Structure 1
Amino acid sequence: MVTIREIEADSLTELIELYRELTGEPTDPARLAEAFASIKADSRYILLGAYVDGELMGSLMGILCQDLVGDCRPFMVIENVVVSARARRQGLARQLMTAIEKLAHERNCCYIILVSGEKRKEAHVFYEKMGYRVEKVEGYRKHLSSH
């Protein structure tokens, strides 16, 4: 049975494993716990999990951003979309995206944006099937080194 709900602290070990699948990099458990506490205290962050028989198998994060243009409605950024390789093709990503879109509607968001790595072609096909379209914009990222 699949349940979509907000992730709580008791799922952080499983979340670390999902992020390792997503990035191929380890996540520091202490830093994750600290960051998790911060986002749980901030209502602009929504961290959803897809649980299969109680086990966390997928996740995504939505961040509400207040816009200052036009009607000044908020928009949502989606980040860190991941479903474990053990649970793909079961509709978990679709259920996660549908749930976050519902929450964006409830919060009066005017649009949702997300970025996906250039080589993640299967993900791109999925996002297009979900109604997202490629917009001709240039994306830029600057990695800041820690001191």
Structure 2
Amino acid sequence: MVTIEEIGIESLKALNTLYEELIGGPTDPVKLETAFRAIREDSRYALLGAFVDGELLGSMMGIVCQDLVGDCRPFMVIENVVVSSRARRQGIGKKLMTALEDIAHERDCYYIIFVSGEKRKEAHVFYEKMGYKEERVEGYRKHLSSH
């Protein structure tokens, strides 16, 4: 049975394993715990996990951002979407996405936005099935090196 719930500190090792699958390398566990604690203290963040029989097999994070235009309603940014390769095509991603959408509705978000790497074609099919539409926009990213 799949349950969707906020991720607790006891699941950080499993979360780090999922992130390694997402980005192709490890995340520093000390930095992960520090960032996790900060996120848990900030009500704008929702870090959800999909647990199957107690095992963390998927996760995504939503961040509510306040907008300053139009009706000045907030919007949600989704990041770090990952479902274990061992558990794909079982409805886990859909349950996670639906749970984040519910949070966005509760917080009166006007829209949800996220980016996905152009090579993640299977993920794009999933997003479109969930009702997300590809918008032709230019995306830009600048990686900042630490000083």
Range class of TM-score, shorter chain: over 0.9
**Map of 2:97 onto structure 1:** 97
How many Å separate the matches in 2 of 1:48 and 1:90? 17
How many Å separate the matches in 2 of 1:93 and 1:112? 16
Correspondence list, 1:1-147, <5 A: 1-147=1-147
How far the C-alpha of 1:138 sits from its partner, in A, is: 0.4
Q: What secondary structure, in the 3-state scheme, does the structure 2 residue paired with 1:47 have?
A: strand
Letter in 2 for 1:31: K
Cα deviation digits, residues 83-111 of structure 1 (max 9, x gap): 00111111000000000000100000000
Aligned length: 147
TM-score, normalised to structure 1, is 0.99
Q: What secondary structure, in the 3-state scheme, does the structure 1 residue paired with 2:76 have?
A: strand
Indicate the RMSD between aligned Cα atoms, in angstroms. Answer: 0.4
How far the C-alpha of 1:31 sits from its partner, in A, is: 0.1
How many Å separate the matches in 2 of 1:132 and 1:89? 18
How far the C-alpha of 1:136 sits from its partner, in A, is: 1.1
How far the C-alpha of 1:25 sits from its partner, in A, is: 1.4
Q: What secondary structure, in the 3-state scheme, does the structure 2 residue paired with 1:11 have?
A: helix
- Percent identity of equivalent pairs: 74
Structure 2: gaps spanning 5 or more residues: none
